Amino acid sequence: MKRTAVRRRVARVLSKRAAVVSATPNLRAEIVAIGQRMSASGLSPGKSGNLSLRVDGGMLITPTGIPYQEMKSADIVEVRLDGRVAPGQRVASSEWRIHLAIYKARPDVGAIVHTHSLNATALTCLHRGIPAFHYMVAEFGGDRVACAPYATYGSEELSRFALKALGPRHACLLANHGAIAVGETLRQAYDRAAAVEALAAQYARALAIGRPRILSGREMARVIEKFKTYGKQTEVKAK
């Protein structure tokens, strides 16, 4: 190819990329900011974990292989609902299939955070979910946070297992791997990822000193019902 043709081709790719980036600048910056917070807080070590946000017709997701502290808005990858990626973008996180499968199956989900957080991951190495050992498990919309069976990272099989373990709830674990939390917003998904890790730490500690007593299904149903109105009493009515 002649030099001018190459230059023209590069310009075309770059302008396409610029068009994709400029369409969603704030959302991309938000993903980078929360990714950096996740990394700095130690919630997911090294380059592990990934985050995504639903956008019209697809999702924005963190790229693979770039340290969070070096990540820029332009590195965030837009993946369409059919899995296609516009040219000129970075390579999407290897777990993009899980994210896409969740957005397709759960219209209520607007954002997803996947971590390899320490205690949650330790439990997954025992293929152990988090049962109702504490009433706060109800915060995830059910009486447990289930653990999906093991499958190779990035595989179609893993996305199927993850979807099943998630069910209608807000979080699940992945065997020998890590945790997934979902929310309406990225902030909510992130807070839930941190909450899963806190519960996993408490459960692991309880397992280390004895046999945790599990709350009954009836009690958890009561707590789930109470959570539906929790915090709403303090809402100030707008004039």
Give the three-class secondary structure for 101. Answer: helix
Q: What is the DSSP letter of 92?
A: B
Q: How many residues bind Zn ion (CB under 5 A)?
A: 1
Question: Taking the complex as a whole, how short is the minimal distance between the CB of residue 31 and Zn ion, in angstroms?
Answer: 16
Residue 95 bears catalytic tag? yes
Alpha helices in 1-51 (DSSP H): 3-23, 25-40
Name which of 235, 128, 105 is nearest 182 in CA terms.
105
Question: Taking the complex as a whole, how short is the minimal distance between the CB of residue 211 and Zn ion, in angstroms?
Answer: 30
Q: Spell out, one character per residue from 123 to 162, where the chain touches Zn ion: x when CB under 5 A holds, - when not.
A: ----------------------------------------
Question: Taking the complex as a whole, how short is the minimal distance between the CB of residue 100 and Zn ion, in angstroms?
Answer: 15
Q: Residue type for 58, please? A: G
- Cα 81 from Cα 68, distance rounded (Å): 25
**Active-site annotation holder among 30, 78, 95, 197:** 95
Alpha carbon distance, N-terminus to C-terminus of the chain: 66
Q: What is the DSSP letter of 46?
A: T
Scanning 4-12, 66-74, 170-178, 214-222 for contacts with Zn ion by CB under 5 A, the matching segment is: 170-178
Name which of 50, 82, 65 is nearest 162 in CA terms.
50
Scanning 32-40, 69-77, 171-179, 185-193 for contacts with Zn ion by CB under 5 A, the matching segment is: 171-179
Scanning 60-68, 129-137, 175-183, 210-218 for contacts with Zn ion by CB under 5 A, the matching segment is: 175-183
- Residues 177-236, interacting with Zn ion (CB under 5 A): 178
Question: Taking the complex as a whole, how short is the minimal distance between the CB of residue 193 and Zn ion, in angstroms?
Answer: 12
Whether the CA torsion 131, 135, 141, 142 is positive or negative: it is positive
Q: Which residues are catalytic?
A: 95
Task: Report the interface residues with Zn ion, using CB under 5 A.
Answer: 178
